[in-house]
Amino acid sequence: MKVKIIGTGAHIPSQEYTNTQFLRNDFFDANGEAIPSKNEEIIEKFSSITGIRERKYTQPSLNSSDLATEAAKKAIEDAQIDPETLDYIILAQNVGDITNQSDQPDALPSVASRVKANLGIKNPKCVAYDIIFGCPGWVEGMIQANAFIKAEMASRCLVIGSETLSRVTDPHDRDSMIYADGAGATIVEKTDSSAGILSHASCTYTADGEVDFIFMGTSNKQTDDPTKFIKMQGRKVYEFALTNVPTAMKECLDNAGVAIGDLKKIFIHQANLKMDEAIVKRFFRLYKTKAPEDILPMNIETYGNSSVATVPTLYDLVRKTNFQNHQVNEGDIILFASVGAGMNINAITYRV
């Protein structure tokens, strides 16, 4: 028995926020000192490293649960199932259901419970809960769903990644330009076919200060404003990812017994264009070979980094629209992989 994706859906916010819209920002370093470079230079350097030209922000009237609900509806329609047959709704998020008018995250009740209510599901045996696992949250949700189904605790699950990071970004922090909003969803169920999850790997690093690489913190050391924003130590995150993600991906692929030459696509967390490309190059280098040019779908250039939503939204795009000439076909071996706050890393080997 395997666990197979039978439906996908995504909600991509309609508001496009371009790099030029940051030209009016006042950028400060972590000590509260004004960055001497001109904004044009700051933004150009940011774009050259991350690849981001624009990102998607949700409209003020919608919260993360609304985005997740729309993605879930599309996945349910795509799978052609009755939502009452769902055993679990597992929703990955990091800042709750924070509204546009408040700087206070709201995760009570869980975002997953709100999505269940929005979907009108009456079955009390459909269990809804959130997981907070940094950017790898959706991948970890898939791993949990796989475990539930293989343990015969469930037959069908809805796994969602939803985020509104635009509401926890510091306008004075250069790193804030990376973040975006969005939601992606998948329906998974047990199958006797050869398709489905072949292997997975997860790990959490905290022994050498990694727990503080991505965190919630105040604007800078010279302000009395207690408001907390999403923060990261960019250089440390970059070095950590390049060192540890390729080996986790290799462990996952090797556990599936799949040859590197049989891998067709890698759907990696859309964190940073150069970082993702470097991770994939190092991953293939572990097999003493080069990465194929068409192995890596990317949408960070125009979608930004929507944390838990990047992998499922990208997979939905490729699966349904052959996004940027990428496509997945029946029987293809693909890899899902992510890295983020925790510091957490995970991966899934999957046969379409």
| pLDDT tens per residue, range 53-80 | 999 999 999 999 999 999 999 999 999 9
- What's the pLDDT tens digit per position in 253-308? 999 999 999 999 999 999 999 999 999 999 999 999 999 999 999 999 999 999 99
Q: In this model, does residue 52 exceed pLDDT 80?
A: yes
Mean pLDDT value across residues 96-102: 84
Q: How confident is the model at residue 221 (pLDDT cuts 50, 70, 90)?
A: low
Mean pLDDT value across residues 225-252: 90
Cβ-based burial of 162 (10 A; exposed 0-12, middle 13-18, buried ≥19): buried
Task: Supply the pLDDT for residue 285.
Answer: 96
Q: 2-193: what CATH class?
A: alpha beta
In the chain, ranges of CATH 3.40.47.10 domains: 2-193, 197-351
Q: In this model, does residue 222 exceed pLDDT 80?
A: no
- What's the pLDDT tens digit per position in 166-185? 998 888 888 889 999 999 99
Task: Supply the pLDDT for residue 227.
Answer: 78
Q: In this model, does residue 224 exceed pLDDT 80?
A: no
Contact (Cβ atoms closer than 8 angstroms) between residue 336 and residue 318: no
Q: How far apart are CA 310 and CA 23, in angstroms?
A: 26
Query: What's the token pair of residue 200?
Result: 């997975």
Closest CA to 141 of 315, 308, 313: 308
Please say whether the structural domain 197-351 has been given the CATH code 1.10.3720.10. Answer: no
- Compute, in degrees rounded to 10, the torsion defined by CA atoms 109, 112, 116, 117: 30
Mean pLDDT value across residues 1-29: 92
Q: In this model, does residue 217 exceed pLDDT 80?
A: no
Specify the higher pLDDT residue, 124 or 24. Answer: 124
Task: Supply the pLDDT for residue 215.
Answer: 78
